[in-house]
Structure 1
Amino acid sequence: MARPAGLTAARWQVLGAVLHEPLPVSGIARAMGITRQSVQRIADLLVDQGLAEYAPNPAHSRAKLLHPTDQGREAIRRIGPAHRDLAERLADELGDEEFARVLEALERLSSAMDRVSAGTSPRR
């Protein structure tokens, strides 16, 4: 879905993380649960492509904020219809009840991963 917009899945995710508010690379990494170095590499590629840019961070002079350019926002908009179509086809394939069960399972998995990564999950 991302390829026609000139993005990889990883670049789409990082760009998507800053659509609503600029964030430092470390903040994106925390939100995504991956290393800062991985996000830094992808963010630099997005900047090189003209899809994002760095801006000064008033809270931290060395940790610049990443935010999308107009070109980056347009790339994300181009993905929207294909993403929406896939989601609708999956929902039709699964049916309402199964779709709700899958969503609930994914939400439980996400919560469990948050607890495990925070070290608050009990060991068995």
Structure 2
Amino acid sequence: MSNGFELPLRLLMAFRVLIDALHEELAERGHPGMRPMHGFVLQAVARGADSAASLGRTLGVSKQAAGKTIETLEGLGYVTRVPDPADSRRKTVVLTDLGVDALRRSAEVFDELRTRWAAELGAGRLDDLEDALRRMTPGDLFRLDVPGWFG
């Protein structure tokens, strides 16, 4: 018999196993500086968070924390700031080609990891697990406020 606390811990551990494997693969594929938080940021920028303020709201972190992460990713070459065509005083954050490549490769690696899990668990069992999780969780897969929620 399992204790009630085991379910969230197992789900979190499964997330961690997948994310750690993702970052090992990304490092081998040309993205050694990527960290888990960076993936949330790149996804948010790709979905329109174009400033420290909007990124902070999306991630559930302070504007200052978002700004620091933008600076880090800019230094690594994943994002850049460009003049806003609607307001010359403002700069917007956009993905660079390297940032787009990191997201593309992440999607590829997640597909490969899912294939590995299907081989280990059986495709039907993995499909059943995903169906059960869809039933028990909200529909928005890209709810990116997890970093702030943990903080």
* TM-score past 0.5 threshold: yes
- The count of corresponding residues between Structure 1 and Structure 2 is 112
Q: 1:55 is matched with which residue: 62, 82, 86?
A: 82
Task: Calculate the TM-score normalised by the size of structure 1.
Answer: 0.69
Percentage of matched positions with identical amino acids: 18
CA RMSD of aligned residues (A): 3.2
Give deviations 1:62-121, integer Å, cap 9, x for gaps: 4x211111121112222222112234426947443432221232317x99x9xxx9xxxx
Q: 2:60 is matched with which residue: 12, 26, 33?
A: 33
Q: Structure 1 CA distance, aligned partners of 2:57 and 2:125?
A: 32
Query: SS of the counterpart of 2:66?
Result: helix
Task: Calculate the TM-score normalised by the size of structure 2.
Answer: 0.59
Q: Structure 1 CA distance, aligned partners of 2:64 and 2:82?
A: 19
Whether 1:107 and 2:138 are equivalent positions in the alignment is yes
Whether 1:18 and 2:45 are equivalent positions in the alignment is yes
Q: Kindly indicate whether the alpha-carbon contact (under 8 Å) linking 2:73 and 2:79 is maintained by their aligned counterparts in 1.
A: yes
Unaligned runs of 5+ in 2: 1-21
Q: 2:93 is matched with which residue: 39, 49, 66?
A: 66
Q: Kindly indicate whether the alpha-carbon contact (under 8 Å) linking 2:38 and 2:73 is maintained by their aligned counterparts in 1.
A: yes
Q: Structure 2 CA distance, aligned partners of 1:9 and 1:45?
A: 13
Unaligned runs of 5+ in 1: 118-124
Give deviations 1:44-75, integer Å, cap 9, x for gaps: 0111111110122335834x211111121112
Q: Kindly indicate whether the alpha-carbon contact (under 8 Å) linking 2:83 and 2:92 is maintained by their aligned counterparts in 1.
A: yes
